Amino acid sequence: MKKLYWVGNSKEQIRAFPDEVQDEAGTTLRKIQYGQTPDNTCPLTGLGEGLNGVIEIKVDYDKETFRVIYVAKLSKGIYVLHAFHKKSKSGIGIPPKEKDLIVKRYKSARSHDAA
């Protein structure tokens, strides 16, 4: 089982989600720790050059969408980079503010992994 690392306040962000969303996100992360690829995950693209292996967990609940962003390809374990409630009613992309935070935390995870 791979170790789970929480970057920034990602753990607190998940704890702010509704209980059902927390349960599904937690179950999905556990499956990932055991090397599985759950159906509610997909690669996150468009973050910039050199940012490969970033994956998002999508949880739909009560007509809302919640996302948990992680990277599992680093050697020390799985790094949970960010979690947020997608509030936009139009478009399926991630807002620029969220992308910027994901990129910053990805770089932090890579530094931690290299140490």
Question: Model confidence at 100, in pLDDT bands (50, 70, 90)?
Answer: very high
Reading the block at residue 91, the tokens are 């478009």
45 or 92, which is more confident? 45
The structure tokens 């999508």 sit at 58
Mean predicted confidence (pLDDT) in 53-60 = 95
Per residue in 40-54, pLDDT tens? 999 998 888 888 899
Does the pTM of the predicted model rise above 0.75?
yes
Q: What is the mean pLDDT of the chain?
A: 93
The alpha-carbon radius of gyration of the chain (Å, integer) is 13
CA 20 to the chain's CA centroid: 17
Q: pLDDT tens digit string along 61-72?
A: 998 999 999 999
pLDDT at 48: 85
Burial group, residue 61, by CB count within 10 angstroms (0-12, 13-18, 19+): middle
54: left (phi over 0), alpha (psi -120 to 50) or beta: beta
- The bridge status of strand 41-43 relative to strand 54-61 is antiparallel
